Amino acid sequence: MIASIKDAHNQHYLVKDYYHSDNERPGIWIGSGAKKLGLNGEVDPQHMALLWKGYSPEGDKKLVQNAGSEGRRAAWDITFSAPKSVSVAWGVGDEDLKAKLERAQQIGRAHV
């Protein structure tokens, strides 16, 4: 999915349409930040919305000084993508190949 910068500034777009689109597999929490916040498994839209506003996943702690402030920059979106040939192989592959490619991506992300 591609969106303009204007659209990307809208938290509702990112939480509902990007991270939980019917066209995409569910997002998953990865990395040391997610672990420190106790996040694992599929991305929960309520947790994502609170994080976007600068609060802990439970909403009980401010994670930044300007949590909840209007106009604050909530995040930077960085994407590490496989080469197009891997995407094409996944798109036309059977379930076994898709699972292997997804596992390889997860292993790669762990080393970033």
**97 vs 103: CA distance, rounded Å:** 10
Q: Which of 8, 108, 110 is nearest to 52 (CA)?
A: 8
Supply the angle between the helices 95-110 and 84-92 in degrees, to the nearest 10: 150
* pLDDT interval class at 18 (50, 70, 90): low
Q: Which residue has the higher pLDDT, 18 or 80?
A: 80
- pTM of this prediction exceeds 0.85: no
The answer to whether 55 and 62 have CB atoms below 8 angstroms apart is yes
| pLDDT attached to residue 1 | 33
For the stretch 24-70, pLDDT in tens is: 667 788 888 899 999 998 888 889 889 989 999 999 999 999 999 98
In the chain, the amino acid numbered 7 is D
- The count of residues in the chain is 112
For the stretch 93-112, pLDDT in tens is: 999 999 999 999 888 776 65
* pLDDT interval class at 78 (50, 70, 90): confident
Q: Which of 43, 41, 69 is nearest to 55 (CA)?
A: 69
| Nearest-10 Cα torsion for 15, 55, 78, 16 | 0
Q: For residue 76, is pLDDT > 60? A: yes
